[in-house]
Amino acid sequence: MTNMRDLQDKYADLLAIAKRLSVIGSAGAILHWDLETKMPPKGIRQRSEQLALLEVIAHQTLVDPRVGMLLDALTKEHALASMDDVQKRNVHLMKKAYDEEVALPEELVEAIAKQSAITVDRWKKAKAAKDYSLYRPELDSMIQLRKESAAILRDVKGSRTEYDALLDIYEPGMTEGRISDVFTEMRDGLMRIMHSVASSDARPDLSIMKRRVPVEMQLGISKEAMSFIGYQTEGAEAAGRLDETEHPFTIGYYDDVRITTHYYEDRFMSSLFSVLHEGGHALYEQALPREWIYQPVGNTCSHGIHESQSRFVENIVGRSPEFLSYILPRLRSMTGGALDDLEERDFVLAVNAVMPSKIRIEADEVTYGLHIIIRFELEKDIMDGKLSVDELPQAWNEKYRRYLGVEVQHDSEGVMQDTHWAGGSIGYFPSYALGNLYGGMFLRKMETDVPDWKESVARGDFAPVRSWLADNVHSKGNLYDPADLVKVVTGKDLDVEPFIGYLDEKFGAIYGY
């Protein structure tokens, strides 16, 4: 029988491999950031080779036979009995990653990495040209590679469908059947609120949101937003930075977590909310337990939990009447007179306008979930072979007409508006709506623990909210799967009602229905 010292040595060896994987992954993340922000256009082919090499190195590191031998020893009953919860979780997460990765051929891993960089680059060009035909062949190649990997992962994970195997990458333990049930309940609640808002006499003045504010002034607004949430980009203690990209994102690990935004002179609030959104992601990454750095348990829980944190900061806090009351005087002082005549009531109503739209990232809190349901249904059909890449634009447009009552004029505001499928992230989209549901549950618990949080926000003090999120969510790292984390934090299983209840209370007060 393996003695205790030998088990400790094996566990230490496993953590050393986990650290190597974390370092490789964080290096690849910075290369991705550079690809989106600073890299010259001609560098895409070289960058695809660089990213593919890192993916192959990570793959080779994880599937090394020694990893299998370490896991064999550490997963025996007597070995697990000697471990605490953190050690057991680290072993579980490494075993899951090993089993899945060892099943994937190295050439497939490399092909997916290369195709991802190439397809994203083609997506950017096709979107700018409003020409889906430029993008279609590379997207088709990306989807075929994802289907190939999903077929392998389905067997390894024991998933019911290939799509379930991909969903598990982003939201461990979640299935399309569970999502369909939850999304049906969510859709019904959202539609009811939409009808209540539409019947209200309150009519937001949307021209407020189109007032022109030069980008130079918006840079100052971004700094104000980052200061409010405590995301540092300047000074010796800075662990982040803000740059501009076509599609805002967050990337990084612990002490180097970077966010991006996009500026529109005639949509000055767009960048403010993208900074708050991405800043919410960054705060999560930066507040993970320091003692768990480089360990599997030291990562974030899931994409849905991640999204709950970003949308909590952006929407629950950032679009609240209390925050808007706090920020409006500061916006007036930073925009050269553009907002001097703006009344707070009109501002709150315009920011929280509920209106079906074509663009997901610009959608209001109520209609946003319908954008995700559309993508979820299309992804399922793609993976089931019911929908081809050629048919995708028309199917997209028909669903937008049916669910949101809007007419898509061209594919850049339609099927090409998101980068996710170009990057191969099929199964990612449901996490956005699940994040809203998790956030609603977290809010209900926080309201019990910090009943005066709104008053703090109105004073410009985000610290009580940030501390609650850090103590209750961020501090748990990847110790639990998402469903278990939600139950640990709230004491309840996944429930749609808290989110719908939050929307009803907020929009009922704003619209007077």
**Cα 501 from Cα 507, distance rounded (Å):** 10
Phi, psi angles (nearest 5°) of residue 298: -90, 10
Residue type, 118: I
**Cα 335 from Cα 416, distance rounded (Å):** 33
Residue type, 13: D
Beta bridge partners of 244: 261
Among left, alpha and beta (phi > 0; psi -120 to 50; other), residue 200 is beta
Assigned token pair, 171: 């939201």
If you ran DSSP here, which 8-state letter would residue 424 be given? T
**Cα 434 from Cα 487, distance rounded (Å):** 14
Place of tokens 């009109």: 346
**Cα 513 from Cα 506, distance rounded (Å):** 10
Going from the C-alpha of 75 to that of each of 19, 92, 93, 158, the distances in angstroms are 20, 8, 12, 19
- Residue 257: strand, helix, or coil: strand
Q: Are 286 and 240 in contact (CB under 8 A)?
A: yes
Closest CA to 174 of 184, 161, 185: 161
Candidate list 55, 101, 162, 278, residue with the active-site label = 278
- Residue 308: strand, helix, or coil: helix
Q: Are 366 and 193 in contact (CB under 8 A)?
A: yes
Q: What is the CA radius of gyration of the chain?
A: 23
Q: For the beta carbon of residue 46, count every other beta carbon within 10 angstroms.
A: 11
Among left, alpha and beta (phi > 0; psi -120 to 50; other), residue 450 is beta
Q: Are 224 and 235 in contact (CB under 8 A)?
A: no
**Cα 268 from Cα 281, distance rounded (Å):** 21
Q: Is 316 exposed, middle or buried (0-12, 13-18, 19+ CB in 10 A)?
A: buried
If you ran DSSP here, which 8-state letter would residue 196 be given? H
Residue type, 196: S
Q: Are 271 and 261 in contact (CB under 8 A)?
A: yes
Residue 278 annotated in active site = yes
Closest CA to 285 of 317, 245, 248, 258: 258
**Cα 356 from Cα 364, distance rounded (Å):** 8
Please give the positions annotated as active site.
278
